[in-house]
A and B are shown apart, each in its own frame.
Chain A
């Protein structure tokens, strides 16, 4: 009899625990995650049109990539183009004609993004110094960043803007062929990723948002 009592006891624990702990959760994103849209204005803030705060929060506007050529001739380099910089004070972006120009959003959109205007809107392209390759530049930058102290609560390591979100090396770029290598920031530490929606975004605590839509909320990091 005692063994059967043991069995029933185990079963009772299971039933009680299941009742308390396992409401089956099912979730889905109501809209597709469309790439390279200025999500800063859609996600993470109280949206008066939708009358609610949407799930993700991007806190950094800066997106920048390194680009370089390897074995590409001058024609290929011209095809890619040359990115110079955004000049927000004069409301101009300096790009020499090439495919990079098409990557950038139209200025009409850029100028509407007040939140991002001072910080530099996405995406920007920079070439490494002539004496360095992309990887050398990355390692140098990371060495520098590692010198700065950071505590667990830090959202980002200081001077994270030195580190690109990714890098692209063009081997060949013309109307017939596009050969390239993409690299993305895949460091394991959260603090080495900008919260710009490319490799990292934050999920606001839903319960706190429901209580108060405007006050400061705590965030949860999405695991790698």
Chain B
């Protein structure tokens, strides 16, 4: 249905009648021509893939979580933490260093991820998103992962089970 065309056709009908009534020797023709149009599904496809990718990237970046947890639980399991404590390590420093180390590892991984996505593979998710927002989001995701690994290690006593449970 083309209601807009219908309006123009009707307007043309009346205009023809009026012009004809005023001027005997005038014949009016009116019409319209569509401008050449280009249609591509690329934009829609990119959005769909970006949406799918957007839900995949956080999972990809969460793969370090089991590693963080395994290292802490392993130190607990092998009594390494106790030995360090006997040698005078304060627990406050232990957790602080672990936190910074794990976060640092995550940030390096995220940085490589972003560099690849933005400058090498030119994925829309990275090129179209503001860098600050991307950085803050990834930082928040990293902080929450390290904190989560510290929390879950309380319930685990063996490194192997810790890793498998964490993957789940």
Known A7-B117, A32-B31: A180·B2 in contact at CB below 8 Å: no
Q: Is A224's CB under 8 angstroms from B10's CB?
A: no
Query: Can you give 17 A-B contacts (C-beta < 8 A)?
Result: A4-B113, A7-B53, A7-B57, A7-B113, A7-B123, A24-B40, A31-B33, A36-B13, A65-B10, A98-B21, A123-B13, A184-B10, A198-B6, A198-B10, A199-B1, A200-B1, A222-B1
Whether a CB of chain B sits under 8 angstroms from the CB of A212 is no
With an 8 Å Cβ cutoff, the count of chain A residues facing the other chain is: 57
B-contacting residues of A (Cβ < 8 Å)?
2-4, 6-8, 10-11, 13-14, 17-18, 21-22, 24-29, 31-36, 65, 79, 98-103, 123, 165-166, 168, 173, 175, 178, 180, 182, 184-186, 190, 193, 197-201, 221-224
CB-defined contacts of B19 to chain A, threshold 8 Å? 102
Q: A134 CB to closest chain B CB, in angstroms?
A: 13
Q: Is A33's CB under 8 angstroms from B31's CB?
A: yes
Tell which of A79, A199, A223 has the most Cβ of chain B within 10 Å: A199
Known A28-B36, A103-B14, A224-B3: A2·B30 in contact at CB below 8 Å: no
Tell which of B13, B34, B38 has the most Cβ of chain A within 10 Å: B13
A-contacting residues of B (Cβ < 8 Å)?
1-3, 5-14, 16-22, 29-42, 45-46, 49, 52-53, 56-57, 59-61, 63, 109, 112-113, 116-117, 121, 123
Which chain B residue has the least Cβ–Cβ distance from A199? Answer: B6
Give 5 closest A-B pairs by Cβ, nearest first: A102-B20, A34-B31, A199-B6, A28-B36, A99-B17
Q: Is B121's CB under 8 angstroms from A7's CB?
A: yes
Whole-angstrom CA separation of A100 from B113 in the bound complex: 73
CB-defined contacts of A182 to chain B, threshold 8 Å? 7, 10-11, 14
Known A24-B38, A165-B10, A224-B3: A79·B21 in contact at CB below 8 Å: yes
Main secondary structure of the interface of B (DSSP, over half): helix
Main secondary structure of the interface of A (DSSP, over half): mixed
Residue in A8, A65, A199, A221 whose beta carbon sits within 8 Å of that of B5 in the complex: A199
